A and B are shown apart, each in its own frame.
Chain A
Amino acid sequence: MMNVLSYQHFPIYAIMVLFLGAFLIVLFGKNKIARSCLALLSVTGSLALLVSLVPRVMLNGEIITYWMGNRAYAGGYAIGIALEVDALSLFFALLIAVAVFVSCVYSIRYMEHDDNIPQYYTLFLMLAGGVLGLVLSGDLFNMFIMVEILTFAAVALTAFRNTARGALEAAFKYLVVGSIGSTCILAGTIMLYAQVHTLNFAQLSALIPGHLNGSTRVAFALLFVGFSTKAFLVPFHPLAADAHGAAPASISVLISGVLTKSGIYGIIRLVYFLFQSMGLRPIQFMLVFVGSVSMFVCVTMALAQHDFKRLLAFHSISQIGYVLTAVGLSTALGISAGLYHAMNHTIFKGLLFLAAGAVLHETGTTDLDRLGGLSKRMPHTTVLFLIGAASISGIPPFNGFASKWLIYQAAYLRAVETGNIGYLLVTIIALVTSTLTLASFVKVSQSVFFGRLPEEFKDVKEVPFGMRFAMSLFAILCVLTGLLPDLVTKLLSGPAAQAVLNPIRYIAAARGIEMPVENAALPQAAGAWSPINWLLLLGIALFAITLVALLGKYDQVSENASGEKLPAKYDLFFSGEKSVYSQVGGGDLFWGFKHNWRHYFSFMHDLHSGVVNDYALWAVVALALAIAFLQIVL
């Protein structure tokens, strides 16, 4: 019998702490301090437990297999409920725990003026526990149960501010299409069980590759589509926009940083472990195709948005497209780059959503056409936002660039290796998408933080310290993971990528067989990029230039005295259109670009009808296409 404090128990404790917190908050949540403490304690505990596993799992390559109630096998089949934690699981679990922790810190001040706060924290912790359970589970059916828990918690939280316009509608859409996804996962699970009589991941992975027949192919398609809805890949992207637009910012962090990652995690487990199918070109094609389409379609959709949070939502999927594409390249460099980007996405997108939440908290709106000039009123938020924006747009030396750069390298190397011109196209799409991302964040900077400050926001104040603190945590992570790519690869994404490439170890570990870690060399990129050295150079150059400038009296400036705004009666026209003044409307800022793409944009506009029936239809069509594709080519 294992000691209750031994590390094998840590994964289940990490999940239990969150659910326990959820239930305790129901009991004691009336008191403000009690519920904040409980929530913080459970998320901190969960994070600490997972971090303590890093040396064993990441560095030594240990795989922790845990059977609940010590019931493992009967008649050669795994009947017990298993948790199996390899480097891949722990990698995603850490992302989740960090995002949940920061979001919880932020929630304390952000949600203080809402009603029903105890319910908020209960659902919040249920959602967190559900996602954590999903990535740590070693059992397909438990994964489905966790999917159910997290989907319903997420739906409820989307509609948490149900007096807000559109919140209920968003939750309803999410519920409908999310349920289709969950049903797909359930159906896929059942079909696999019918074929190989087990639900344990490791055992499934051992059996399925030998049982590839019509039924398992359909199951594959069902599971793939099911997890895609959780990751909001195209064609499920409109839901994400609605959900993010309505949900509180702290929940958006979870939906984009955590929920979508669980979908990606599911897809990786599915293709690399359960079916071990990444050697097959059609599967590689499917992943890279869906990834690239998501990447490009969603970035163009984001360019057309007028709402801060909806814009972020579309970018979220665009970045997930990068992750899926990189993972689909099925090279060590690609997988490692993809996972690295998944991590960075959680961090920078979390930061951006929190910044959007800060703007909403102070101004009451996220409409890009109405906002402007907040940088004078909210200087800290502006700096934090700019760090996040630079990260997502892939500006060196922030983290988004570090991982995207690896993805470009991986894609182009893959193109050269295979001689396949499709991968070349993917590289180009990835490079251009990054610039389009930059364009839309320049738009946000201009429309929200710079530009002219409208009259109605003259008295806006900076957000409370608690919220700025949470954002700063993410911002620091953005800089650190950007400056130390080698460390991240060595410690986090590298071991996870090795785990992905060695499903045999995972299968053996469930049987209690410890296989040696193959210390395959970490993938090397073709190019060179050392952010620390660059930053050093920039620092010296900037210091020197600033010094010269200051010696030349650069800082002796005069404020523009005549900049005082004259009373409105001196304006020629001051009502009507003039009063809802925006310099260039948010959605139309880059009309020089949009004009050339007008047919594409009007096509997209017609396609995204906002009617849930259409989206449900898309889900069904996607499923049909996936089944047909796999039946024909596999």
Chain B
Amino acid sequence: MFSLAFLQTALLYLGYILIFPGFLFCFVIGLLLCGIDRKAVARMQKRVGPPILQPFYDFFKLCGKETIVPAAANRTTFMLAPLVGLAALVVIQLFIPVFNFRVFRNLPEVADIIVILYLLLIPAVSVMLGGAATGSPYAGVGLSREMVTVLAVELPLVLVLLSVAKTVGNALGNGLVFSLSGIVDFQAAHGSLIGRVSMIPAALAMLLIIPGETGNHPFDAAEAETEICEGLLAEYSGAPLGIYKLSHAVKMLTLTSLFVALFLGGIGTGVEHLVAAIGLTGGFAAALSLILQVLILVLLCIVLTLVTISFVHAVTARLKIEQLFKYYWTVVTGLALISLVLAWYGY
């Protein structure tokens, strides 16, 4: 059992979980996206804005601050919820392929897109339970709104995923493809899904879903600093608050890279051939092409963040919760539905 090969594999997977594409990668790129978003919004509003590294400073500063547990709170839940939420997000990131790179290339796939849909609920639920455990009335209101936001986003997201599964299945002639790496493989061979007519509405819907899932402006009724003092986070301070802020940043990365995997999966997959074309082979070439693919992914994530989160943030005002719900179940769902119907009839 404890042969050298086993140890090597174990270390490799530990590396995946802790460094790339797991914890460290999520930490750095997530907070970077967050910083870019803040800077971009500031520039769009003609402010100077914080330095790009500000979220890192914020995080470390929060970690050094005192953590106060409210007297009415359930301490275990209060302290554990942020950690579980972050861990769940990091694990989701492992399931999202970086173009040709897969953590589970040699193993059976762990989770398909339907599973990922429900895994995405775990961070939301842990935020809600952590907030509810404080016993604060602000958290009560925040919880109500957070849950309604989740409900609102869920329907269009389901439709988007089903239509992607159906489109890829149609093209391959085997009905359905739920596997995310299957979807990316397909795009590597046949070009990105965004190039298909039937997928354009779904991609638009997904772009609108991203700020809803991350709870960014104008879909941030659940946090609404100015009216309910950040709702679920009202009683949080110190390191647990820092971890929530980090989770929020990681969620931006998770959703944008999910978008890349679903719709832009073909963009970075040619890099290997490119590297081979300039005459490189062996381990160095593999490393170079991985680095290039990661760079492309990060660039795409930054662009997507700017488009879906920063730009939308800068030009809109916060929606009320019932408006938010209505918006998602009419406009966004409508877009996703168009895609599903088109996919259903084979376009």
Contacts and interface: CB of A to CB of B under 8 A. Distances in A.
A434 B122 CA distance: 14
A469 interface: no
Contacts of A528: 108-112, 115, 178-179
Contacts of A589: 143-144, 147
A379 to B, nearest CB: 8
A577 interface: no
A401 B122 CA distance: 12
A596 B72 contact: no
Given A394-B118, A395-B125, A408-B114, A373 B72 contact: yes
A417 B175 contact: yes
A552 B143 contact: no
A592 B72 contact: no
B169 A593 contact: no
Contacts of A386: 129
B159 interface: yes
Contacts of A557: 66-69, 75, 79, 238
Nearest to B326: A596
Interface stretch (B41-49, B84-92, B308-316): B84-92
A544 interface: yes
B24 to A, nearest CB: 10
A555 interface: yes
B255 to A, nearest CB: 17
A554 interface: yes
A544 B18 contact: yes
Contacts, number: 224
Interface in B293-341: 320-322, 324-326, 329, 340
A459 interface: no
A427 interface: yes
A383 to B, nearest CB: 9
Contacts of A595: 322, 325
Contacts of A561: 71
B218 interface: no
B145 A529 contact: no
Contacts of B90: 541, 545
A579 interface: no
Interface stretch (A349-357, A360-368, A531-539): A531-539
Interface stretch (A54-62, A161-169, A437-445, A509-517): A437-445
Contact of B72 (A453, A538, A544, A584): A453
B23 A544 contact: yes
B342 interface: no
Given A442-B147, A563-B70, A527 B115 contact: yes
A435 B150 contact: yes
B84 A564 contact: no
A438 B154 CA distance: 12
Given A412-B162, A446-B143, A592-B145, A537 B23 contact: no
A526 B162 CA distance: 13
B102 to A, nearest CB: 12
Interface in B58-99: 63, 66-72, 74-77, 79, 83-84, 86-88, 90-91, 94
A394 B240 CA distance: 27
Interface in B233-260: 238-240, 243
30 contacts: A390-B125, A395-B118, A395-B125, A396-B119, A431-B154, A435-B151, A439-B147, A446-B128, A450-B133, A452-B72, A526-B177, A527-B112, A528-B108, A528-B112, A534-B119, A537-B17, A537-B110, A540-B14, A541-B17, A542-B84, A549-B243, A556-B67, A557-B79, A558-B67, A583-B140, A590-B151, A591-B144, A592-B325, A593-B151, A596-B326
Interface of B: 14, 17-18, 22-23, 63, 66-72, 74-77, 79, 83-84, 86-88, 90-91, 94, 107-115, 117-119, 121-122, 125, 128-129, 132-133, 135, 137, 140-141, 143-145, 147-148, 150-152, 154-155, 158-159, 162, 165-166, 169, 175-179, 221, 238-240, 243, 320-322, 324-326, 329, 340, 344
- 7 smallest CB-CB distances across A and B, nearest first, come from A563-B71, A527-B112, A527-B178, A592-B321, A450-B132, A583-B140, A592-B148
Given A439-B147, A528-B108, 14 more contacts: A401-B118, A405-B115, A446-B128, A450-B133, A533-B107, A541-B23, A541-B91, A542-B83, A560-B71, A561-B71, A589-B143, A592-B145, A596-B325, A596-B326
